[in-house]
């Protein structure tokens, strides 16, 4: 399931974040690349220990915690501390797949990457290229979102970033380990949750059908969830 989550950051947060990123010191993006992806990765990245990355990574996590849409879609168990990258001057990231397991720096925790996320931080009209292409059964989905919006998609997907031929593309990216590892099961739970919310809005949360469907939802989560 691929899902766009709009307005994760407000315009004010976007402006403040971009100002800090513009003043930051960037390094080679291959620092977090795996063996397969390193040869096709050409971008810049903030160090995981960068104060700017840590500051704005915390803001991203706070915003996600307040997003009912993100929580319903991801059912997050663990979220990798958000990272930040920069593309300009023809830089790109060729077709690759993300590592299945990511150690969280400075801890003993290793995270299974069920979902990948990209939070766009530039106005799409301010740069040419830079589209995120996520391959699926229908071909390739092309994603280039307004500043402050985010895309969430299965980390098992082949994907790439097209060359940025004008301007600068800034983004935050990270991975999520879901309580429900199977993407098809998560998609069914998400659809069921959205249906329950619509029915509750129409008929009331105490409606018998809403109560019944809510019970089915939670029993499916119990069946499928890891903790």
The predicted pLDDT at position 31 comes to 73
Q: What is the pLDDT of residue 33?
A: 64
Pick the closest to residue 73 from 136, 115, 15, 125 (CA basis): 115
Asked if 168 and 122 count as a contact pair (C-beta separation under 8 A), the reply is yes
pLDDT band at 61 (very low <50, low <70, confident <90, very high): very high
> Contact, 179 vs 73, CB < 8 A?
no
| Terminal Cα-to-Cα distance of the chain (whole angstroms) | 22
CATH 4.10.860 segments of the chain: 183-224
What is the reported pLDDT for 34?
64
Return the pLDDT at 131: 98
The topology under which CATH files domain 3-178 is Jelly Rolls (2.60.120)
Whole-number mean pLDDT of the chain?
95
Q: pLDDT (tens digit, 9 = 90+) per residue, 67-119? A: 999 999 999 999 999 999 999 999 999 999 999 999 999 899 999 999 999 99
According to CATH, where is 2.60.120.620 located in the chain?
3-178
Cα separation, 207 vs 222, whole angstroms: 23
pLDDT tens-digit map of 167-218: 999 999 999 999 999 999 999 999 999 999 999 999 999 999 999 999 999 9
CATH fold of the domain at 183-224:
DNA Excision Repair, Uvrb; Chain A (4.10.860)
| Residue 11: per-residue pLDDT | 98
| Residue 202 backbone dihedrals phi, psi, to 5 degrees | -85, -45
pTM of the model: 0.94
pLDDT band with cut points at 50, 70 and 90 for residue 56: very high
**Residues 94, 88: Cα–Cα separation, whole Å:** 15
What is residue 69's predicted lDDT score, i.e. its pLDDT? 97
């Amino acid at each position: 399931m691929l899902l766009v989550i709009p307005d994760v950051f407000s315009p004010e947060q976007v402006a403040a974040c971009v100002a800090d990123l513009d003043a930051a010191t960037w390094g080679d993006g291959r620092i977090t690349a795996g063996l397969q992806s390193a040869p096709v990765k050409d971008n810049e990245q903030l160090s995981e220990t960068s104060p700017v990355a840590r500051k704005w990574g915390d803001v991203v996590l706070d915003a996600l915690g307040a997003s009912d849409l993100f929580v319903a879609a991801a059912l997050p168990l663990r979220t990798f501390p958000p990272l930040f990258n920069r593309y300009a001057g023809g830089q790109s990231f060729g077709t690759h797949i993300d590592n299945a397991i990511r150690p969280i720096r400075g801890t003993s925790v290793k995270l299974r990457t069920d979902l990948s996320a990209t939070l766009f931080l530039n106005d799409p009209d301010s740069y040419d290229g830079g589209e995120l292409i996520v391959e699926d059964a229908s071909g390739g989905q092309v994603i280039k979102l307004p500043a402050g919006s985010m895309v969430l998609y299965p980390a098992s997907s082949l994907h790439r970033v097209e060359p940025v031929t004008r301007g600068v593309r800034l983004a935050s990216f990270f991975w999520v380990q879901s309580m429900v590892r199977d993407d098809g099961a998560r998609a069914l739970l998400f659809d069921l949750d959205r249906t329950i919310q619509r029915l509750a809005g129409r008929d009331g949360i105490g409606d018998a059908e809403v109560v019944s469907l809510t019970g089915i939802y939670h029993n499916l989560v119990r069946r499928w969830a890891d903790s």
